Structure formats: C-alpha cells, structure tokens
Amino acid sequence: MLRSNKQIASTSFYLSTPSTFINDCQWEFYVNLQFNTSSTNYVDIYLTSDNANLLSGSFNGYFVRIGNTQDEISLYRRNGGTSTKIIDGIDGVTNFSNNVIKIKVIRTATNDWTLERDMTGTGNNYFLEGTINDANILTGNHFGFLIVQSTASFFQKHFFDDFYIGPIIYDVSPPVLVSATPLSATQLDVLFDENVDLTTSQNPANYSVNNGIGNPVSALRDGVDFKL
C-alpha cells in the first residue's frame, strides 16, 4: 500500500508512471483518505495525462477528483490549463473523517465513460456516479495521482492500493437467485448472489412467480443492498 509522506503544509505533490491505456479500457483502484475532504484537501487521480509532471501548468488528460468543495467523486477532462467536470458526482460522499473507497472507471471503444464508486472499499457495492460520451482526448502516456493538502493534521493520511489499468473486465456470469422471501401477501424480497443492474432489476417483466401468480406489477432494487 502506498502512503503519502510529504510533511509540508499548504502544498501539492504527485506520483506518476508511464501508461498508454486510454481507449477501450478500465481503471480500478483503492483509496483511503483519513480526513474530511475540502477545497484545500483532496486528491486527483489522473487516469491519463500527456505529461508526467502533474504539477505542470498545461497538459491534456482525464482525472477523477476525490473531495474538493462539494466533497464529491467526479470525472474531469483537462485541456491545457482548463479542467472541465464531465461527470458530476453526488455531493457530500467524502465529508467523513475516514473515507475508504474503491473506484472504477470504464471507457469503451465508442468513448462511453462510466464512473462508479464503492464507499465500503471492497468493490462489491459499486454505485454509478454517472455516464458520458466524450472523445475529446484520444492519446495519453501517463497515469498518476496528485495530492493537495493544507495543515499538518493532513500529513501522511492518503493511502492507495490495488491498482488495475488494462482491458475492460466484463462480467459474463449472470446473477444467481439466492432466496425469495415473502414480506406480505403482495410483496417478495428477492436476493441475488451479486449486485444487479438498476435498469434490468427494476423491470417487472424479468420476474415470474409460479403457482399462477405470474409477473409482478413493479420491481424496485434496494437503495442500500444492490443484491436485493
């Protein structure tokens, strides 16, 4: 596990490594920020950059920002010295004293982006922050992360691990039904062995109850347990 070690207040610092993955690929990584994020304490994960120096004033690439004023996880595109938010994450998700996060970003061959985060840090409960089609930048040669920190109370509190950068990992195994539990004469809890897709899981036509009952009137995925 990587841990930040720069003990200078009101500073920014980075780590980068060569990487040419930018199209038809997936990025996945673990982050633990042991503080409430803010406009002076956040992390930018550069999925791709055309400059190894992430403190350079002008370069092109895409990055995930964790924190900042809205305490959110969002996807940005950087053109020269201008950064543009292209997927706006939900506000307030990193406004906690200990943020354990798994993040997954996918860019398909047709430039469709998805940004997901799992606040358990396990990768088993991903939440979709958003999608976008963006083909503005097509080449890059570095991956890295940039840390912005303020006072000494934030020193050495950034942790990173479990990086994957490579071809898209497709889930080809369908969910398996674990149980169906009656809640009332008209309601069932249906539990699967893995998280289910929001759209397909909420389609009543995908379910049928035997003994002459048939399709349900409606289906709703649980707001916390995405297997239910």
Q: Quick one: pLDDT band at residue 159, thresholds 50, 70, 90?
A: very high
CA distance 74 to 217: 36
> pLDDT for 58-111, tens place per residue?
999 999 999 999 999 999 999 999 999 999 999 999 999 999 999 999 999 999
CA distance 177 to 20: 40
What percentage of the chain reaches a pLDDT higher than 90?
A: 89
Q: What residue type is 23 in one-letter code? A: N
- Please state the length of the chain: 228
* pLDDT of 195: 86
pLDDT for 194 beyond 90? no
* pLDDT of 224: 80
Residue 157, C-beta contacts closer than 8 angstroms, at least 6 positions apart: 4, 33, 34, 35
* pLDDT of 141: 97
CA distance 111 to 48: 14
Q: What residue type is 178 in one-letter code? A: V
Please report where in the chains the tokens 């699967």 appear, as a residue: 192
**Bridge partners, residue 204, by sequence:** none
Cβ distance 89 to 65 under 8 Å? no
Q: What residue type is 155 in one-letter code? A: F
> pLDDT for 98-141, tens place per residue?
999 999 999 999 999 999 999 999 998 899 999 999 999 999 99
